[in-house]
Amino acid sequence: MSATTSALPGAENPGNVALDGLAREFVAALGPAAVVTDRVQLRTYECDGLTAYRCIPGLVVLPETAEQVGYVVRRCAQSSVPFVARGAGTGLSGGALPVATGVLIVLSRLTAVRNVSVDDERVVVEPGVVNLDVSRAVAADGYFYAPDPSSQQVCTIGGNVAENSGGAHCLKYGFTAHHVTGLEVVLPDGSVSRFGGLAPDPPGYDVVGALVGSEGTLGIVTEVTVRVVAVPERVETVLAGFRSMDDAGEAVSAIVAAGVLPAAVEMMDTLSIEAAESAVACGYPAGAQAVLIVELDGPAAEVSAELAEVEAICERAGAFEIRVARDADDRVAIWRGRKSAFAAMGRISRDYIVQDGVVPRTSLPQVLRDIALLSAESGIRVANVFHAGDGNLHPLVLFDSTRGETAAAEAVSERILELCIEHGGSITGEHGVGNDKKKHMGRMFTEVDLDVMQLVRCAFDPQSLCNPGKVFPTPRLCGERPGRRTGVHPVQAAGLGEVF
Amino acid sequence: MPTVAPATIDDLAAAVRDTAPSSIAVRGGGSKRDWGGVAEVAELEVSTAALDRIVEHADGDFVVTVQAGARLADVQNVLGSKGQWLALDPPEAGATIGGIVATAASGPRRLRFGTPRDLLIGVTVVLADGTVARSGGKVVKNVAGYDLGKLFCGAFGTLGVIAQCTFRLHPSPRAIRCVSVPLDDPGDAVRSLRRSPFRPSAIEYDGTRLSIVVEAFESAADAQAEQIRALVGGEVSAAVPEQFGARPWRSGEVGLKATFRVGALSPALALARGFRLSAHAASGVLWLGGAVDAGVLDELRAGFAAYDGSVVVVAAPDGMKRKLDVWGPVRGVEVMRRIRDQFDPDRRMNRGVLDAV
Amino acid sequence: MPSEGAWDERHPPPTELLDDCVHCGFCLPTCPTYVLWGEEMDSPRGRIYLMAEGHDGEPLSEPMVTHFDRCLGCMACVTACPSGVQYDRLIEATRAQVERRFPRSARERALRSLVFKTFPYPRRLHALRPFLRAYQKSGLRLPLPAKLTAMQRLLPPLGPASPVAELTPARGPRRARVGMLLGCVQREFFADVNAATVRVLTAEGCDVVAPSVQGCCGALSLHMGREDEAVRFAKRLIATFEPLGLDVIVVNAAGCGSAMKDYGWLLRDEAGWASRGAAFSAKVRDVSEWLVELGPGATRHALDVSVAYHDACHLAHAQRITSAPRELLRAIPGVEIREIEEAAICCGSAGVYNLLQPQAAGELGARKAANVAATGADVLVTANPGCLMQIRTALADRGIPMRLAHIVEVLDASIRRDPTLLGP
Ligand SMILES: Cc1cc2nc3c(=O)[nH]c(=O)nc-3n(C[C@H](O)[C@H](O)[C@H](O)COP(=O)(O)OP(=O)(O)OC[C@H]3O[C@@H](n4cnc5c(N)ncnc54)[C@H](O)[C@@H]3O)c2cc1C
Ligand code: SF4
Ligand code: SF4
């Protein structure tokens, strides 16, 4: 149904003749319901889940088929008009931030599940299919799709592929990259290519591997083949309350050192517990300074041995309450608190920044102490929700923009990323670089590293039309050879880490 | 062909850059030197033999950083002393880390742990012009920037020299049990295993015998093995059979790798009749050995294509390879060529090896 | 940038409520219009964004209004929102502004006024009955405009109207004295439901007080932004029930109940009425809610049926009542409850939505019918007359034979040991 098109196409960019013409062409080819040109309507697309960056797109197109996507991209390429893909717009790095002089291609209408082949452990979907719908498609057969971002009921597989999204259960099962075996992609020139498929190990370069996580800069994915896995025989979810983050952190290290590989190890601090309680009344242990959620899954015999071990470890580490979910409902209740934690921050703070950084797991306690110190010094509250098993921190920096705290909050948030880099970690574990963190890329990588990554970009998108201005701090024209590195790696020179 | 064996990454880069050779061959342990297309004789051979250090084993983080020339077996020894291992088990003796990554070599336990691409979390590479670059990092979870590591996995050295790798590690298995059962067609057994609640590390078929490996806590391993035996029959032992996971070809023969969608095991095995074989039966991978000519190869390719798979010639004497289309059709090859043109516009690296791209 | 924004001073959608939205998108998949069209402007997040744009200088333009009009007011987004965004308050304020300030086309005005001149007025609806009945019987299908066609197609087969007595005493020992809302649509088109409600309540030991003149609760007016009208209706209803000395006021139409539970807010600016409204609201119970609160007294006899229970939006999302009806059904021996896929998504009824947006309502109805049919249940049970009408039509259109019943009809059948009540 339609985006009412009342204003004339291109009205937003009166000077942009190319967009003007494209709008007319798209209306003719895709119908008026697929093209948005009215200013108030365009503005609803001006940001994704990270509202700090906004830009009114020149034009929004909502294709319904892969062919239409190909057509739209082809016409953009021929007219040298930039374009950006968007799924559900839940991204937290401004990856789907539109370009004012470009076209935003929204994939939310490509929602067909094209093929379910449980016997091959594969499902083939269009990019607009919601993550959780993949699991729903195979649930009756006892299978599920493992990558489970907290936004799984809304984010799309296309967005997941672009961001290489992860989730709580990725500790054991791996990220999106480990579960995508085939892609159909509209390349930035509008041509369509397929990579991989139902079978493993396609010959040649692992282009699927390069595309997953490329944040929509190498083309628009129009079909995704994913691997689904059998639902484990037994799942045990342990909820443990601790009197300090240190104790909880110790429990995590001990679990890992014991050779147990849980499906998930999640940690929350008091502030995030408070927010989750007020959102969904999850009933976490009262008075806990930290809770740990440990989920074990697998063959029954294995899980029961591990469960005993995990309970003992938590107790030794000082857990004052340990609860094991009695049934599926109980488990859902435990997870509900964790999964709602981000969005629930709105209940305890007017504004907040969701940070996403990674540190080696063993550095977790130190980094958490540093963050606490930072918070105390700045007077800016920081709530911590994170994937403790793989050291992926999600500090939530809480502030009130109406009280002029924005700058201080941003400073805290940036300092946290610096801490991650100093500890040999990463500036993003799952939300991507997007628009938000491109300025930090230079602290993790050298110019040369980035130039070499740009070689990939140039192979796919020599015109730099596909989601331009994202990921890389300084766009480089294709065709120049990257400079050569001589001497010591600057990251090493700065004492920030060893070259590896 | 002059060979250099630099001991540091900077020396490696300098060797390539300063001699600016017109063509470069990369050599690791040499255990797979007969893999891929026929390599052209290069102006310079770069050996990773002296780049064999374990740079850092962060055992608390289950992460290791190793130089490309380190031998897998040596790495496993060091890791094993801390109760950990790098969960890769390709059977080639003497293989180096760099070679394993470059060929994306896999073994039986890929069923549970995946292939090099799934465990590699950071990489340092040297391009044909001496540029040193890295991507990824040393934390398991990291989505900053493009994942060059994945592109280098299975690129057979054509995009640059892999100098150093960082991997995610796993705890060493506490106990191992293997259920072995002779079967003519393992299709149904494998299907029921895949649908079962069990989580074997490997399910291998050698043409006559299906071997299912479980690795877990002692008690859990026993319990699972017993249940698996009840499901498919056979015998339980505490060790894998001899020749477990070995490549099925002999020297002088043609070795092939065929892939297929995993549900098509039985028809895939039927296509492979007449070959010696070793199957990662629940992963959709078959290694074949025997006599192959162009006609046979075409037939096989047509057969496996019906299951969305491919057939590549892995190993063969050069003379035989020259008569065969080693790689066969490659899906998305135009894009791959563009990538190669960007990384190595003069095509200096490992010329001939990945001639399809 | 246009200088004058969409909203005037009088209760614009409050910015502090708009600020609660963190733009996470969790509400998208439960929004019926987003499910249908997949576009941001027709999602809760998009509508909230449009409201904010209105504060940011964007005018109340036709496209903007279109997206507000397309909102079903199903409040699924309120349930889904982890940030506690009060979309119900926001859309209510928005609609009042739109009604007051946006010039609609003549056609649209005519239709709206027809709806509002009949539906909230039991007597006018009553007067229409003979015509509608004759029309239905004649089998004539006159070439009416699409929206009017939608209206007449939705009507249930009309039986003779049967009034509810002003006072029906409890059977057995009295446990409570309850007032009963007769409802406009309910009383005229679903007289059987009202009769069953009275029987169940009395069987459970309630004196049932049902003033014959009670008027409309104002829900329709409120949901369509006719605030002043809603206020008038609310005051009259309060005045009618206040003096009757009731423990609770029972409602069997979810849409009415959700509005009546909100009188305190509706009357917040009316001198002397705010606290009266709040006191009244505190007594309002949906019939399922009340029966669970009361606990079963009368014996439930076995009914050998499988039941697909449909969550009416105004019960599940607006009043957050999902377990009570299921509990009541489960307590009947022999009843098997089957859950409907996409349960959270509206059937497209939504008050008079099916009259004002027939195409969208039709698509949602078809979708719901397919999901209902997939359960293979014998009976579809729900707690709202609008849903009953909508789903009946949608099932009939697809030629799916299925019995439909209000939940009190099922309870009534069980208590009276009369399974024929559920008969075809
Ligand atoms: C409350 C909340 C919790 C979250 N939790 C997690 C979490 O636990 N783990 C996690 O990893 N992420 C999480 N996220 C982030 C976000 O949900 C993911 O990044 C998700 O994958 C984005 O999907 P999307 O459909 O919303 O994509 P969008 O936001 O629309 O787009 C994201 C990027 O993908 C690109 N893109 C979209 N579709 C395509 C396509 N078809 N082809 C090519 N490029 C495309 C866009 O250009 C953009 O760069 C969370 C977000 C929120 C709001
Ligand atoms: S009330 Fe219903 S239709 Fe309206 S925005 Fe919310 S979910 Fe969508
Ligand atoms: S779920 Fe709530 S906070 Fe999130 S976008 Fe919807 S209304 Fe806003």
Cβ pair C39:A62 closer than 8 A: yes
pLDDT at C349 exceeding the cut of 80 = yes
How close does chain B come to A86, measured CA to CA in Å?
19
pLDDT at residue A350 in the model: 84
For a ligand 1 pocket test, name from A90, A131, A217 the mutation site with the most ligand atoms within 8 angstroms of its C-beta: A90
Q: Are A313 and A254 in contact (CB under 8 A)?
A: yes
For chains C and B, having 3+ Cβ pairs within 8 Å is answered no
Share of chain A above pLDDT 70, in %: 93
- The domain C167-292 is classified under which CATH number: 3.30.420, 3.30.160, 3.40.50, 3.40.1350? 3.40.50
Strand ordering across the sheet containing A220-227: A113-117, A122-125, A220-227, A180-186, A192-196
Are both C15-101 and C300-422 of the same fold? Answer: no
Q: Relative to the CA of A95, which ligand 1 atom is closest?
A: 49
- Please tell me the residue having the least CA distance from ligand 1 atom 2: A151
Cβ pair C50:A44 closer than 8 A: yes
Nearest to B267 by CA among B254, B283, B284: B284
pLDDT at residue A497 in the model: 37
pLDDT at residue C2 in the model: 43
Q: Are C383 and C254 in contact (CB under 8 A)?
A: yes
pLDDT at B306 exceeding the cut of 90 = yes
Mutate to test the interface with A, among B59, B141, B313 (most CBs of A within 10 A): B141
Q: Could you tell me if the CB of C181 is within 6 A of ligand 2?
A: no
- Which of chain A's residues have a Cβ under 8 Å away from the Cβ of C62? 4, 6
pLDDT at A499 exceeding the cut of 60 = no
CATH dotted code for A113-230: 3.30.465.10
Nearest bound ligand to the CA of residue C82? 3
- Tens digits of per-residue pLDDT, A362-382? 999 899 999 999 999 999 999
Cβ pair A302:B335 closer than 8 A: no
pLDDT at B247 exceeding the cut of 70 = yes
**Residue C157 and residue C389: Cα distance in Å, rounded?**
10
Question: Once rounded to an integer, what is the mean pLDDT over residues B198-204?
Answer: 95
Cβ pair C39:A153 closer than 8 A: no
- Please tell me the residue having the least CA distance from ligand 3 atom 3: C21
pLDDT at residue C161 in the model: 56
Confidence category of residue A10, pLDDT binned at 50, 70, 90:
very low
Cβ pair A456:B9 closer than 8 A: no
- Tens digits of per-residue pLDDT, C99-113? 899 998 888 888 777
- Which of chain C's residues have a Cβ under 8 Å away from the Cβ of A48? 23
For residue B294, report the distance from its CA to the centre of ligand 1, in Å.
Answer: 47
Q: Which fold has domain C15-101?
A: Fumarate Reductase Iron-sulfur Protein; Chain B, domain 2 (1.10.1060)
- Looking at domain B175-237, its CATH class is alpha beta
CATH 3.30.43.10 maps onto chain A at: 17-106
pLDDT at C125 exceeding the cut of 80 = no
- Tens digits of per-residue pLDDT, C33-86? 999 999 999 999 999 999 999 999 999 999 999 999 999 999 999 999 988 999
Share of chain A above pLDDT 90, in %: 78
Radius of gyration for chain A, computed over Cα atoms and rounded to the nearest angstrom: 23
Share of chain B above pLDDT 90, in %: 92
CATH dotted code for B254-326: 3.30.70
Nearest bound ligand to the CA of residue A86? 1
**Residue A223 and residue C91: Cα distance in Å, rounded?**
37
| Average pLDDT, rounded, for chain C | 86
pLDDT at residue C353 in the model: 81
Which residues numbered 230-289 in A keep a CB inside 8 Å of some CB on B? 230, 232-234, 253, 256-257, 259, 261
Mutate to test the interface with A, among B66, B335, B348 (most CBs of A within 10 A): B335
List the single range of A3-17, A463-477, B125-139, C175-189 with lowest mean pLDDT: A3-17
- Please check whether residue A151 touches B, CB under 8 A: no
pLDDT at B120 exceeding the cut of 90 = yes
Q: Domain ranges for chain C, please list them.
A: 15-101, 167-292, 300-422
Q: Domain ranges for chain B, please list them.
A: 3-171, 175-237, 254-326
Chain A adjacent subunits, 3+ CB pairs under 8 A: B, C
pLDDT at residue C64 in the model: 96
- Please check whether residue A458 touches B, CB under 8 A: yes
- Please check whether residue B336 touches A, CB under 8 A: yes
Cβ pair A214:B146 closer than 8 A: yes
**DSSP string for residues in A250-312:** HHHHHHHHTT---SEEEEEEHHHHHHHHHHH---PPTT-SEEEEEEEEESHHHHHHHHHHHHH
pLDDT at B92 exceeding the cut of 70 = yes
Cβ pair C25:A89 closer than 8 A: yes
- The domain A234-422 is classified under which CATH number: 3.40.50.410, 3.40.462.40, 3.40.50.720, 1.20.1060.10? 3.40.462.40
Residue of B nearest to A424 (CA): B138
- Please check whether residue A206 touches B, CB under 8 A: yes
Helices in chain B by DSSP H: which ranges? 9-19, 72-80, 97-103, 110-113, 116-119, 148-152, 187-195, 218-232, 265-271, 294-305, 318-322, 333-343
Q: Relative to the CA of A84, which ligand 1 atom is closest?
A: 47
Nearest to A72 by CA among A63, A224, A80, A64: A63
pLDDT at A422 exceeding the cut of 60 = yes
Q: Are A347 and A278 in contact (CB under 8 A)?
A: yes
- Tens digits of per-residue pLDDT, B330-339? 999 999 999 9
Higher pLDDT, A253 or A145: A145
Architecture of the domain delimited by B3-171: 2-Layer Sandwich (3.30)
Question: Once rounded to an integer, what is the mean pLDDT over residues A182-200?
Answer: 97
| Average pLDDT, rounded, for chain A | 90
Sign of CA dihedral C20, C26, C30, C32: positive
- Tens digits of per-residue pLDDT, B56-72? 999 999 999 999 999 99
pLDDT at B28 exceeding the cut of 70 = yes
Q: Which fold has domain A17-106?
A: 3.30.43
pLDDT at residue B147 in the model: 96
pLDDT at B7 exceeding the cut of 90 = yes
| Average pLDDT, rounded, for chain B | 95
* Predicted structure pTM score: 0.92
- Tens digits of per-residue pLDDT, C205-223? 999 999 988 888 988 888 7
CATH dotted code for C300-422: 3.40.50.11810
Confidence category of residue C188, pLDDT binned at 50, 70, 90:
confident
Q: Which amino acid belongs to residue C110?
A: A
pLDDT at residue C82 in the model: 87
Q: Are A92 and A50 in contact (CB under 8 A)?
A: yes
- Tens digits of per-residue pLDDT, C390-415? 899 899 988 888 899 999 999 999 99
- Tens digits of per-residue pLDDT, A234-260? 999 999 999 999 999 999 989 988 889
Share of chain C above pLDDT 70, in %: 87
pLDDT at A151 exceeding the cut of 90 = yes
pLDDT at C131 exceeding the cut of 80 = no
Confidence category of residue C119, pLDDT binned at 50, 70, 90:
low
Pairing of strands A143-144, A180-186: unpaired
Q: Over the range C102-113, which residues count as b (16 or more CB within 10 Å of their CB) and which as e?
A: beeeeeeeebbe
pLDDT at A483 exceeding the cut of 80 = no
